[in-house]
Chains A and B, each alone.
Chain A
Amino acid sequence: MMAPMFSSKLLLVLLFGTLFGLVLGVLPGLGPTTGGALILPFTMTLDPLSAIILLTSIYCAGTYGGAITAVLINTPGTPAAAATCLDGYPLAQKGEAGRALGMATVSSTVGGIFSVIVLVFFAPILANLAYEFGQPEYFALAIFGLTMLASIGDGSPIKNLIAGAFGILISTVGKDFMTSIDRFTYGINELSVGIGFIPVVVGLFAISEMLTQSTLLDQVFKRVALKAVKLPTKDDYKKTWKTILRSSGIGSFIGVLPAEGGTVASLIGYSEAKRFSKNPEEFGKGSVEGIAGAEAANNAATGGAMVPTLALGIPGSATTAVILTGLIIHGVRPGPDLFKEQPEFLYGIFGAMLVANVLFFIFGFFGAKIFARITLVPNKILWPMIFAVSVCGTYSLSQSIIDVWIMLFFGVLGFFMRRYGFSVVPVIIGLILGELVEGTLRQSIVIFDGNWLMFLTRPIALTFFILSLIALAFPLIRSKKNKKII
């Protein structure tokens, strides 16, 4: 079963994916989601397993790579590394950058491996449960996914819901799949096939980030010197092993929920590490527990987020939405049948994620100094290059110039969305879930002969609806504490 893992081609893909993921993670503004979207068109030349291994290794290594920048220049390479800055940079300022990166590397690896184990055990269980699902249950599940995004995603819940609804609305552009009636095409032939996922993702992430960078040109990074990454001492391990395990559990759990995976997981992992710490006063001043709490959690979210992606076809994070798209364009349908019919494909992914975690440990440990130098590439050179790749990558999928216009449109839109506090992640999740939401809703209505109340007669669907209501009510309860609804 593991035989495909040992083919030299797959190992090469894995090696490249890990290195590329690290580079993406290190560069502020890029990250595994944008990088995954940029590389998706190139995966068309690969077989499905190689393509998904490439994307998952980018996901694992990119999530870790953010820590290098967080520690050395106090700027998270990825949003998931934001909490790492809080203690990583102060520790680096004390002349212990190597120790900070060593702790980040070890805890990321442990978190990542822990989450792969969770993935191996829980994905098949969840997939088995999914055999009980019919159209109404899938509809209720997709609604639950979207409401969870509003509830525990980054930013304001109502704005997240608007963004999610907008994402679903984008998925309705083109010919209606049940009746072939044109919707929102306005006579443009290219739009009748719908709006592709890649132009939207590349626009919302890469192009909007390029515009954001154009507003930050006067920003000066203060780099901390790094001699070498040091493995944590016995004393550090004693201090942090409980934190690492706790955060690995938290990260895996948060990852399974459809939300902004690693970002939320690292914040919760960090705050829980502080809550349980014997020395909470050290947090924010260079605590190794703080670094371990954040890093173990954000990497643990990677495996967790793959659970609903593979078992149900519901992405657990923005990057897994890209991976899900990769699966779909390569003709692999995620869900329970995938576990029954192509177990070797899944074992390939599990094994690749495991190896990617080991590889980024090695690369991070020996190469952090080199990767840190990538941040020296000035934005005025880097971003025009990223633009060229974005444009060609977007064009390449359907060889349509309209896709490039769409990418630019979503780039500008994404910039203003972020500027006014709307997260772009729900748009992506909404876009990918849109067809499922509408398809299952309409098919359910046909099954129920137009009687909407029949949804309430299905126990699993009803459970998901109740959970959705709880997810919607949760921010209201939370807002009583921190007054953040809008």
Chain B
Amino acid sequence: MNNVRDKKRANKSLPFFFRTEFKVFFAIILVSTILLISTFSFDTVPPILNRGIQPATFPKGLLVLIIALTSIIYYLSFKKPWKKEKSLPKPFFLTILSFIIFIIISKTLDFFLAISVLSILVSYYWGERRIFYLLLVSIIFPLVVFIFFEMILGLRFPPGIITNLYYY
């Protein structure tokens, strides 16, 4: 209980733009506003064909609702500040980095190579050092998954330097 109170106090002592509630409020409002502006560029139906409302009206209403509700939670946070979250540990950022590497490899080289690289990176970053288990997650298991999807479900994976060895 005291811990939570301390965290809240710590958050309250920060300048407003560093507080969690402001950052969340700002992020939601920014994204919603950009999306709201983009709805004005949606095509419209000519009045003669228009039955009911225009296609942009419903998303516009939703975005206005999201902006309004976000403003309410920000206003309420003045009375009841949010607790300050613990800073994120290194493995979290390394996992995100693995995702980025996964996207790059799957786009440029090979889908299954990307899965293998991500698996070995995540397993290693999370503390696994035993070679057998690193091989298990990066080679054996993706191979089993590939065989299962390819042979049993009949799925065709995107071409790539390793996948092509099987397909051609």
**Which chain A residues have a beta carbon within 8 Å of chain B's beta carbons?**
41-42, 44-45, 156, 158-159, 161-162, 165-166, 168-169, 172, 176, 178-179, 181-184, 186, 210-211, 214-215, 217, 378-381, 383-385, 387-389, 391-392, 395-396, 399, 401, 404-405, 408, 411-412, 419-421, 438, 441-443, 445-446, 450, 483, 485-486
Query: CA separation between A404 and B111, bound complex, in Å?
Result: 11
Chain B 88-115 per-residue mask, 1 if CB under 8 angstroms from chain A, else 0: 1101101110010011001100010001
Choose from B56, B76, B92 the contact partner of A183 (Cβ within 8 Å): B56
A169–B63 CB distance below 8 A: yes
B interface residues (Cβ-Cβ under 8 A, vs A)? 20, 24, 28, 35, 38-39, 42-45, 51-53, 55-56, 58-59, 62-63, 65-66, 69-70, 72-73, 76-77, 80, 82, 85, 88-89, 91-92, 94-96, 99, 102-103, 106-107, 111, 115, 118-120, 122-123, 125-128, 133, 136-138, 141-142, 145-146, 149, 152-153, 155-158
Q: From residue A19, how far is it (CB to closest CB) to chain B in Å?
A: 17
Of A169, A383, A388, A408, the residue contacting B66 (CB under 8 A) is A169
With both chains docked as a complex, state the minimum distance between the C-beta of B115 and any C-beta of chain A, in angstroms: 5
Contact status B145-A214, CB under 8 Å = no
A485, B76: Cβ atoms under 8 Å? Answer: yes
Contact of B127 among A178, A217, A396, A442 (CB under 8 A): A217
Measured between beta carbons, the chain A residues less than 8 angstroms from B99 are 408, 411-412
Nearest CB of chain B from residue A162's CB, rounded to whole Å: 5
The answer to whether A162 touches B70 (Cβ under 8 A) is yes
With contacts A169-B59, A215-B89, A450-B52 known, is A384 near B122, CB below 8 A? yes
Option from A45, A391, A412 in Cβ contact (under 8 Å) with B96: A412
Chain B: minimal CB distance from A32 (Å): 21
B126 to chain A, nearest CB (A): 4
Report whether A181 and B42 are in contact in the complex, using a CB–CB cutoff of 8 Å: yes
CB < 8 Å: which of A168, A186, A385, A442 contacts B53? A442
Partner of A408, one of B76, B85, B103, B149: B103
Partner of A214, one of B70, B95, B142, B156: B95
When distances are taken between beta carbons in the complex, the residues of chain A under 8 Å from B82 are 420-421, 486
Quote the shortest CB–CB distance from B163 to chain A (angstroms): 12
Q: Which of B96, B126, B127, B141 has the most CB of A within 10 A?
A: B126
Known A-B contacts A392-B149, A486-B76; A381 and B103 likewise in contact (beta carbons under 8 Å) = no
Task: Given A172-B59, A179-B55, A408-B103, decide whether A158 and B85 contact each other with a Cβ distance below 8 A.
Answer: no
Q: State the main secondary structure of chain A at its contact with B.
A: helix
> What residues on B are CB-neighbors of A445 within 8 Å?
52-53
> Which A residues are CB-close (under 8 A) to B128?
378, 380-381
Interface contact A172-B62, CB-CB below 8 Å: yes
Do A401 and B95 have beta carbons less than 8 Å apart?
A: no
Report how far A396 CA is from B38 CA in the complex, Å: 31
The answer to whether B58 and A388 have CB atoms under 8 Å apart is no
Q: Which residues of chain A are within 8 angstroms of B146 by Cβ–Cβ distance?
A: 392
Known A183-B59, A385-B137, A399-B155: A446·B122 in contact at CB below 8 Å: no
A420 with B20, Cβ < 8 A, contacts A217-B89, A442-B53, A483-B80 known: yes
Chain B interface, DSSP helix/strand/loop, else mixed = helix
Q: How many Å lie between the Cα of A159 and that of B69 in the bound state? A: 8
Most interface-central of B24, B58, B125, B142 (chain A CB within 10 A): B58
Cα–Cα, bound, A450→B91 (Å):
54
CA distance A443 to B58 in the complex (A): 13
Which residues from B are CB-within-8-Å of A179? 45, 55
Task: Specify which chain A residues have a CB less than 8 angstroms from the CB of B58 in the assembled complex.
Answer: 172, 438, 441-442
List 30 A-B residue pairs with CB atoms under 8 Å apart, sorted by A's residue number: A41-B153, A165-B69, A181-B44, A181-B55, A183-B42, A183-B56, A183-B59, A184-B38, A184-B59, A214-B89, A214-B91, A214-B122, A215-B92, A217-B91, A380-B123, A383-B126, A384-B119, A384-B137, A385-B141, A387-B122, A388-B119, A388-B142, A395-B111, A405-B103, A408-B103, A419-B85, A441-B58, A443-B52, A486-B76, A486-B77
A388 pairs with B141, CB closer than 8 A: yes
Q: How far is the CB of B24 from chain A (nearest CB, A)?
A: 5
Cα A392 to Cα B106 with chains together (Å): 12
B77 / chain A contacts, CB cutoff of 8 Å: 486
Contact B65 A159 (CB under 8 A): no
Selected contact of A184 from candidates B35, B44, B96, CB within 8 Å: B35
Minimum Cβ distance to chain B for residue A206 (Å): 13
* Residues of the A chain whose Cβ atoms lie less than 8 Å from the Cβ of B111: 395, 401
Knowing A45-B153, A215-B92, A412-B96, say if A384 contacts B145 (CB, 8 Å). no
Q: Are A396 and B103 in contact (CB under 8 A)?
A: no
Closest 8 interchain pairs by CB? Answer: A384-B119, A380-B126, A176-B55, A445-B52, A380-B128, A384-B137, A442-B52, A214-B95
Pick the contact of A159: B56, B73, B122 (CB < 8 A). Answer: B73
Chain A residues near B38: list those with CB within 8 A: 184, 186
Q: Can you name the residue of chain A whose Cβ is closest to the Cβ of B20?
A: A420
Q: Which chain B residues border A165 with CB–CB below 8 Å?
A: 62, 65-66, 69
Interchain CB contact under 8 A, B24 and A420 = yes
Contact of A384 with B123 in the complex, beta carbons under 8 Å? yes
B165 to chain A, nearest CB (A): 18
Tell which of B72, B73, B136, B138 has the most Cβ of chain A within 10 Å: B73
Inter-chain contact A42/B153, CB cutoff 8 Å: yes
- Cα distance A178–B20 in the bound complex, in angstroms: 41
The CA of A395 and the CA of B138, in the complex, are separated in Å by 19
* Chain B residue at minimal CB-CB distance from A419: B85
Residues of B within 8 Å of A210, CB to CB, are: 95
Bound CA span A42–B149, Å? 9
